[in-house]
Structures are given as C-alpha cells and as structure tokens.
C-alpha cells in the first residue's frame, strides 16, 4: 500500500496494517496474557516458528497461519511487514517474551531499515527465566543476569567475558540455550567458570520444557549439574553465594533476615 514505507519514527499510517509481536509465554495457552490472546483472536494472519504455534492450536482455528522452521527469523519478520503493509493485522508469534532473546528487536530493526509506518505492538509474555524460576521456588529474589550460551549470533569469547563478570559479581545466573546436540562443550565451560568463584554446593535449578507435557524440574548443585539432562528446552539457574535449597525449593534471600526478625 502506497505510503507504508515512509514516515517519522513515531508516525504510523492508519491505512497500513498492524504487526503485533506476541509473547506466548513458556508453553501452553494457560500461560498467556489476555492481551496476547486478544491479539491472536483479532489477527488476520498469524506467523511463527512451527514449534511455538503447535503449542497453541486452539488459538489458530479459522486463521491464516504461516509457519516456518528454525533459523528463518528474518524471513518471518519480512513477511510480516509485507502483509501488514497491505493492510492486514498480523501477529508474529514469539515464544516466552518477545523482547528477551526473541523477535521484538529484529522487528524494530527491520522497521527502521524499511522506514515503515506500519503500527507495531509489542505484547509481553512470561519469559523462560521467570517462568522457570517460579517452578523452582524463588531463586531470582536478588540481582541476577541472563546469559545465552548460543554463539550463533554472539562470539563465544564475548559470552565467556559475560559469564566471568556475572560469576565474579555474585549474580544469580540464568543460562538460556545451554546445550544443543552440536554445542555440548559450552555448558561445561560455563559451569567451570562459575565454579571458580562459587562453592561446589551452590544450588542449581534446571527446568526443561516448562509447563509442557514433558516438563522436568531438577534441583541439584554446581558440582553435580552436568550429571543432569540439559538441552535446548532447558533453562539453568545457578544460585549466588547466599542461595540455599529447602524442601525442594531453591531460595535466594532478598536480605530480610538481616533487617527484620522473621516470623516463626
């Protein structure tokens, strides 16, 4: 549609369509926000990675659905703009939260390159880091860092620096994309970096396929974490120097014990 590819940063064209970048959360539709569900309901076209779309079949009924495989993120985004610029309401599905290792940034980068006047709505979702933390208890009650171990887009040397910095500063560390079939050594190196700063008894939580039928939750230690099954569906949360485990929970104190008398 003429005029959809020009305009100021905050100016949109009412004759153009809409791209809603929707975070579907950690798994099933039960973990989606009402705003995300509404966007899917009102969409003309839904675009997404097939694995994520397969988790919400009930929200795809009666819709034009375009699914694609992994590693086709740029194509999905470009397709979304082509459709939106023809006047359609497009939902680009993103697992977890679209602004955390997901599609929101790429959509806005492409929008800037196209100088597009399509309206863009970023709709948050439950991210793996907080969805998995809830299943473990309360491991993120103090400062934490999220680090992806995938070196597909970030050099491994940079990731190592970030791991070392977070470990030395005593952050709780959440590891995304910890291990794949081809990339098996990074999780070992990451554990060893953290182990150089923390006790081997430090609690570690591993949640795989959170909220899905094959969900697995493991509470272990820094010393024993590599004995557990870890894959690309896993999120690994490594405690800080004060984190402890109790009754199957992983707990990082916020500091109340030092300031207040805790109720018995």
Over residues 95-116, mean pLDDT: 95
Q: Is a pLDDT exceeding 90 seen at residue 212?
A: no
Across 77-106, b (16+ Cβ under 10 Å) vs e yields bebbbebbbeebbbbbbbbbbbbbbbbbeb
What is the rounded average pLDDT for all residues in the chain? Answer: 92
Residues above pLDDT 70, as percent of the chain = 91
Over residues 23-35, mean pLDDT: 88
pLDDT band at 261; cut points 50, 70, 90: low
Q: Which tops the pLDDT comparison, 54 or 2?
A: 54
Q: What is the pLDDT of residue 9?
A: 42
CA triplet 36, 40, 43: central angle to 5 degrees?
135
Over residues 4-15, mean pLDDT: 53
Over residues 168-175, mean pLDDT: 98
Q: Is a pLDDT exceeding 90 seen at residue 90?
A: yes
With H, G, I as helix, E, B as strand and everything else as coil, classify residue 175: strand
> For residue 105, which of 79, 71, 77 has the smallest C-alpha distance?
77
115: left (phi > 0), else alpha (psi -120 to 50), else beta? left
CA 125 – CA 5 distance, rounded (Å): 29
Q: Say if residues 91 and 53 touch (Cβ distance below 8 Å).
A: no
CA 149 – CA 160 distance, rounded (Å): 9
Over residues 239-255, mean pLDDT: 96
What phi, psi does 107 have (nearest 5°)?
A: -60, -45
Q: Which two tokens stand for residue 34?
A: 């009402």
Q: What is the pLDDT of residue 237?
A: 98
Domains in the chain, start-ordered, CATH in brackets? Answer: 18-126 (3.40.1010.10), 129-251 (3.30.950.10)
Q: What is the pLDDT of residue 12?
A: 54
Over residues 207-217, mean pLDDT: 92
Q: Is a pLDDT exceeding 70 seen at residue 259?
A: no
> For residue 190, which of 176, 209, 201 has the smallest C-alpha distance?
176
Q: Is a pLDDT exceeding 50 seen at residue 19?
A: yes
Q: What is the pLDDT of residue 27?
A: 78
Q: What is the pLDDT of residue 59?
A: 92
Q: What is the pLDDT of residue 8?
A: 43
């Amino acid at each position: 549609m003429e005029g959809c590819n020009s305009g100021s940063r905050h100016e949109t064209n009412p004759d153009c369509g809409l791209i809603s970048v929707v975070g579907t959360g950690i798994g099933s539709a039960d973990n989606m926000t009402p705003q995300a569900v509404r966007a899917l309901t009102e969409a003309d076209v839904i675009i997404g990675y097939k694995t994520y779309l397969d988790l919400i079949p009930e929200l795809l009924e009666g819709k034009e659905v375009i699914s694609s495989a992994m590693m086709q993120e740029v194509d999905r985004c470009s397709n979304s703009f082509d459709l939106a610029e023809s006047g359609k309401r497009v939902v680009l599905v993103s697992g977890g939260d679209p602004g955390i290792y997901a599609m929101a940034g790429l959509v806005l980068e492409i929008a800037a390159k196209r100088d597009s006047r399509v309206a863009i709505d970023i709709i948050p979702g439950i991210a793996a880091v907080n969805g998995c933390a809830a299943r473990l208890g309360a491991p993120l009650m103090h400062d934490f860092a999220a680090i992806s171990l995938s070196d597909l887009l970030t050099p491994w040397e940079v990731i190592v620096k970030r791991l070392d910095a977070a470990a030395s500063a005593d952050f709780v560390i959440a590891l995304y994309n910890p291990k794949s079939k081809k990339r098996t050594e990074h999780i070992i190196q990451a554990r060893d970096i953290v182990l150089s700063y923390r006790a081997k008894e430090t609690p570690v939580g591993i949640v795989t396929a959170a909220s899905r039928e094959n969900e697995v939750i493991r509470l272990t230690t820094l010393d024993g974490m590599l004995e557990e099954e870890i894959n690309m569906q896993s999120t690994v949360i490594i405690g800080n120097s004060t984190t402890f485990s109790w009754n199957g929970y992983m707990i990082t104190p916020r500091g109340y014990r030092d300031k207040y008398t805790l109720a018995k």
